[in-house]
Chains A and B, each alone.
Chain A
Amino acid sequence: MTKYSMYSKMIIHALLRRRSRMIVALLAIAVGATVLSGLITIYYDVPRQMGREFRSYGANLVFIPAGSSQALAEQDIDRAAGLLPRDKVIGIAPYLYERVKVNEQPIMAAGTKFQEVKKVSPYWQIRGKWPAEKSSGVVIGQEVAEFLKVEPGQSITLAAGDGTEQKVTVEGIVRTGGNEENFVFVDLPLLQKMLKKEGQISVGQVSIMATEAELAALSKNVETQVTGVSPRLVKRVTQSEGMVLGKLQALVYLVTIIILLLTLICAATTMMAVVTERRKEIGLKKALGAENRSIILEFLGEGLALGGLGGIIGTVLGFFFAQAVSINVFGRAIDFQPFIALVAFVVSITVSGVACMIPVKIATDVEPAIVLRGE
């Protein structure tokens, strides 16, 4: 038998045959690792989750015509959209604004794609239903509905400045508490045709999952590559998003550090108790001729094995903990992140190794004579 296999045997048996004692130590490390792994997962997932949350508050990037131009070409918007990371884009809603008349009353009309509006502005409250694409159905703002005294299902006639008329059906009435309540939202191609502005839009609203810095970089890229488009960040959204995320991450970071310290103290205390109750065994080993190095390696081996096992348990439980937090707080599941699992595992081993240092130092101070004195 080699020295290494005897060493492994001693470590394994010390852990397995002293189960009740070791389970306490294992629990201390596993609980710490669970919270740690969970918090690291949440720490890294918060921007993603909160990013999604923020995206329900509307666009964070708008495309407006560059220079003195009053309109954007639809194909420019498509080119600009092609420069954005597809998996991060929630939606791109084009708008063509024009004043029209309804019953001789001037009303602002906005031609748009309803499917995209649903994605970019999920906070819109619709009474009735969303119109189908390429239909003559419209959504009107609450203010307009009250002014015209119309309800979903009724028809109104829109008149352009040149007298062109278009009969449309009110499918839904929108409430947002904002300017949208003063608009009539029409299917984009229908309004473009009516106004003879095919292929033109006034503005493009983009909802994209990105930090303020990422958005700034994307904007710069679009501005450089698509000359007709001038991208603008919606500062009130991006800045408050960045601020809230920063504070939330700082909070989770702080809690993670505190948990790490608590785990360290808990593991060190447990290991110290383990060492104290094994003073006689240490004395015996020294009496048998064990050098301090051997004693240190044995206790460190036990500590690291516990740390490894506790780390694996903690990493798995931590994922479920983070999953439960994510589902309950954000309403969305998270993906297993192998890198975070590896970090939590390594941190657990390191923490238990460091926690072993003080007790191991005590272990080497034990005098072998205590075994003969029978203390």
Chain B
Amino acid sequence: MGLLELRDISMIYGNVKALQDIQLTVRQGEWLAIMGPSGSGKTTLMNIIGCMDKATSGSIVLDGLDLSALDSKSLTAIRRDKIGLVFQQFHLIPYLTALENVMVAQYYHSLPDEQEAMAALARVGLQERARHLPSQLSGGEQQRVCIARALINYPMLILADEPTGNLDEANESIVLGIFEQLHREGHTIITVTHDPEVAELAERCIVLEHGRIADERKHKSVVREEKGA
């Protein structure tokens, strides 16, 4: 049994079937990439996995807990305690410094701890920029703050929606380096991306089309590993 299990997940908005009978298992420590054209259901799937939306039908189990049976308050608690979110548009609170933005996640989770937040920023190489406001940071730096914020409460699942979508090449490389490092450390990561190069870094990639999983590819190393086993 994986860390995350999706069984027969469907999402219907009026007459539109955004997701149809999705079956997906993500094991502990795996890096999964989700690809697909616009409107294929990537974001809807991320919202369901991230406990921000409830599927019309089907079940979703995270760490042995059936999320489909939970109410919105319990889903908020799951999101706070078990999931770290990284956004394409960074979404930092504009009137708080980088350090305070990280501490906000601690504040909602338990207790703000400045030293711990500073250590999280140091991990993404931003300790020198901790007292700067988001408007004083570059896009890459903002995304690294976003990653530090996602990591601060030790989530069991990191969800990243197009984490490099708004970054230049140099910053993309830095951010992907951080994700590789997190993966090596054993974090479970799900990334939505349009970029095949980003998807290439993941162990496994699923391709969504019209709300269905149209294709599934495994990283060469994984294939090699499986063959070896």
- Where the two chains meet, the residues of A that have a C-beta atom closer than 8 Å to any C-beta of B are 1-3, 5-7, 9-10, 13-14, 16-18, 280-281, 284-291, 294, 367-369, 371-374
Please determine whether B108 and A372 come into contact, CB atoms closer than 8 angstroms: no
What is the number of residues of chain B that contact chain A, defined by CB distance less than 8 Å? 35
16 pairs, A vs B, C-beta closer than 8 Å: A1-B113, A3-B112, A10-B100, A18-B94, A286-B76, A287-B52, A288-B105, A289-B105, A289-B109, A290-B80, A291-B108, A369-B53, A371-B89, A372-B52, A372-B85, A372-B87
**How far is it, in angstroms, between the C-alpha of A17 and the C-alpha of B94 when the chains are bound?**
9
User: A1-B103, A17-B96 are known contacts; what are 5 more A-B pairs with Cβ within 8 Å?
Assistant: A10-B96, A10-B100, A13-B95, A289-B80, A373-B43
B residues 70-96 near A (Cβ < 8 Å) are: 73, 76-77, 79-81, 85, 87-89, 91, 93-96
A interface secondary structure, majority: helix
CA distance A10 to B101 in the complex (A): 10
Q: Which of B52, B80, B108 contacts A369 (CB 8 A)?
A: B52
B50 touches A284 (CB 8 A): no
Contact of B91 with A284 in the complex, beta carbons under 8 Å: yes
Interface of B toward A, CB cutoff 8 Å: 43, 46-47, 50, 52-53, 73, 76-77, 79-81, 85, 87-89, 91, 93-96, 100, 103-105, 107-109, 111-114, 133, 149, 161
Q: Determine the chain A residues whose CB is within 8 A of the CB of B93 once the complex forms.
A: 281, 284-285
Contact B95 A14 (CB under 8 A): yes
Q: Which residue of B lies closest to A14 (CB)?
A: B95
Among A7, A16, A17, A291, the residue within 8 A (CB) of B76 is A291
Chain B residues whose C-beta falls within 8 Å of the C-beta of A5 in the assembled complex: 112
Cα(A368)–Cα(B77), bound, Å: 13
Contact A6 B80 (CB under 8 A): no
* Cβ contacts under 8 Å, B161 to chain A: 372
- Interface-central residue, B53, B87, B105, B108, by most chain A CB under 10 Å: B108
Give the docked Cα–Cα distance between A10 and B96 (Å).
7
Tell me which residues across on chain A come within 8 A of B100, comparing CB atoms.
9-10, 13
Complex contact B95–A6 (CB within 8 A): no
- B-chain residues with CB within 8 Å of residue A284 when the two chains form the complex: 91, 93
Measured between beta carbons, the chain A residues less than 8 angstroms from B52 are 287, 367-369, 372
| B72 nearest CB neighbor, chain A only | A292
Chain A nearest CB: distance from B45 CB in Å? Answer: 11
Q: Which residues of chain B are within 8 angstroms of A1 by Cβ–Cβ distance?
A: 103, 111-114
Residues in B neighbouring A290, C-beta threshold 8 A: 76, 80, 108
Decide: A288 near B46, CB < 8 A? Known: A13-B95, A367-B52.
Answer: no
Q: How far does the Cβ of A301 sit from chain B's closest Cβ, in whole Å? A: 13
A287-B53 contact in complex given A13-B96, A17-B95, C-beta closer than 8 Å: no
Contact of B104 among A2, A280, A288 (CB under 8 A): A288
Report whether B81 and A289 are in contact in the complex, using a CB–CB cutoff of 8 Å: yes
Give Cα A186–Cα B53 distance, bound, in whole angstroms.
97
Residues from chain B with Cβ under 8 Å of A14 in the complex:
95
B91 partner, pick from A291, A294, A369, A371, beta carbons under 8 A: A371
Q: What 9 pairs between A and B have smallest CB-CB spacing?
A: A289-B80, A17-B95, A369-B52, A6-B112, A1-B112, A289-B108, A368-B52, A6-B107, A284-B91
Is there an interface contact between A3 and B91, defined as CB atoms closer than 8 Å? no
Is the Cβ of A374 less than 8 Å from the Cβ of B105? no
- Least Cβ–Cβ distance between B115 and chain A, in angstroms: 10
A18-B95, A288-B108, A289-B105 known; A372 and B81 CB under 8 Å? no
Complex Cα distance, B93 from A281, in Å, reads 6
Q: How far is the CA of A372 from the CA of B96 in the complex (A)?
A: 20
Contact in complex: B47, A372 (CB < 8 Å): yes
Known: A294-B108, A372-B46, A372-B87. A289 touches B95 (CB 8 A): no
Are A287's CB and B112's CB within 8 A? Answer: no
A10 contact from B89, B91, B104, Cβ within 8 A: B104
Cβ-defined contact, B111 with A374, below 8 A: no
Inter-chain contacts of A373 with B (CB < 8 A): 43, 47
Q: Whole-angstrom distance between the alpha carbons of A10 and B100 in the complex?
A: 9
List the B residue with the shortest CB-CB distance to A293: B73
Please name all residues of chain A whose beta carbon is closer than 8 Å to the beta carbon of B87 when the two chains form the complex.
371-372
In the bound complex, do residue A288 and residue B89 qualify as a contact, i.e. CB atoms below 8 Å apart? no
